[in-house]
Amino acid sequence: MKTTTPSRLSLIPTLAAGALVLCVGGCSTVTQVGTSLGQATGFVSADQAASINKSAQAIEKTFQDITPEQEYYIGRSVAATVLSTYRPFDQQQANAYLNLLGQTVAQFSAKPETFGGYHLLLLDTDEVNAFAAPGGLIMISRGMVRCCHSEDELVAVLAHEISHVTLQHGLKAIRKGRLTSALTTLGMAAGKTLGGEQLGQVTEVFEGSISDITSTMMNNGYSRTTEFEADKGAVAIMKKLGYSPTALVTMLEQMQKQLKPGGQGFAKTHPSPEVRIAELKKLVGTAPTPVSAARQRRFQETMGSI
């Protein structure tokens, strides 16, 4: 069978698609680097590069156009969907402790405040999982808490989830077409009361947006690149907060022992802990995590029976 080398022209759509995928991941700068490389190697003309960059910037701006209030209400709907599958864990002291840690972690993040504030909740399931809905609504399973043997490790989990919120990973799971349509309708109706057909359009599109986010969080999972971004964000938060970032590594090592390949929850929706551990060790090294006696006592008293 004769094989042929793809022409430069045939590779343009591939380059464009790749650039747009990178942008949906959250960085038009990366797209510009890619198109610059394409120009330098002759795969993309100046006009084609400009067109790709313009499309990438438009997608990124679409997410920026979501107001904090809209993000909050989208997040509430996402959280309600999660809670239709998982029951809240009715333990007031444990939830209060989780919220105290979460609120503290958020203050050292890139987005210390959201429209509705950060709210954290334990889920009554042995499944190892955690969910970060847009706007700062974060849910952690009892199974996930059991992977944490110290307050530092629990803080590492919360810092990772809060990084998902600050980087708007949930919103970026929405298909661009849905978002553009909803925001266009809202923009046309600015200053008016939505009703009839317009209200129906916005409701339908945002229902689809909720489905996109929950499907990503609960069924498909974020990309490896996205999870690495959240890990890097968690490391930065923990350093500012005074907790050892190596706790994220030790937590993942504990998790790795509990997860079954191809299982449900975290194993289904996240990259292998082994892969994340390898990347994290490049950032934080392998020095053991110092354990504070006061933190450990506080953690055991509150979460020891979870």
Residues 21 and 128 in one domain: no
Residues 231 and 276 in one domain: yes
221 or 3: which leads in pLDDT = 221
Nearest to 106 by CA among 80, 82, 81, 138: 138
Percent of the chain with pLDDT over 90: 41
pLDDT tens, 173-219?
Answer: 776 555 555 555 445 444 444 455 544 454 555 566 667 777 766 66
Asked if the structure places residue 141 within a domain, the reply is yes
pLDDT tens, 103-119?
Answer: 999 999 999 999 999 99
What would the two tokens of residue 224 be? 């490896």
pLDDT tens, 241-275?
Answer: 999 999 999 999 998 887 766 555 554 555 678 88
Q: What are phi and psi of 119, to 5 degrees?
A: -135, 130
Mean pLDDT for 90-103 is: 97
Mean pLDDT for 57-65 is: 50
Residues 149 and 273 in one domain: yes
pLDDT tens, 163-183?
Answer: 999 999 888 877 655 555 555
The structural domain count of the chain equals 2
Residues 12 and 30 in one domain: yes
Q: Where are the alpha helices (DSSP H) in the chain?
A: 8-24, 28-41, 46-64, 68-83, 92-107, 142-145, 151-166, 176-188, 196-215, 224-241, 246-258, 266-269, 273-284, 293-303
> How distant, in Å, are the alpha carbons of 30, 100, 248, 270, 283 from that of 144?
34, 18, 13, 13, 23
Residue indicated by tokens 């006592």: 297
Question: Which residues span the domain enclosing 293?
Answer: 68-170+220-303
Residues 83 and 19 in one domain: no
Q: Based on the number of CB atoms within 10 Å of its own CB, is 41 exposed (0-12), middle (13-18) or buried (19 or more)? A: exposed
Tell me which H or E stretch contains 140.
strand 137-141
Residue 97 in this model has a pLDDT that exceeds 90? yes
Asked if the structure places residue 182 within a domain, the reply is no
Mean pLDDT for 35-40 is: 48
Residues 14 and 138 in one domain: no
**Last residue of some domain: 16, 35, 64?**
64
Asked if the structure places residue 204 within a domain, the reply is no
User: Edge-to-edge strands of the sheet including 130-133?
Assistant: 119-123, 137-141, 130-133
Asked if the structure places residue 185 within a domain, the reply is no
* pLDDT band (50, 70, 90) for residue 27: very low
Measured between alpha carbons, how far is 48 from 35 in angstroms, rounded to an integer? 9
Give 124's Cβ-side CA count (13 Å radius).
8
CA 264 to chain centre: 19
Residues 128 and 240 in one domain: yes
> Can you give the pTM of this predicted structure?
0.69
72 or 89: which leads in pLDDT = 89
Residues 53 and 93 in one domain: no
Whether 245 and 283 have beta carbons less than 8 Å apart is answered as yes
Residues 234 and 299 in one domain: yes
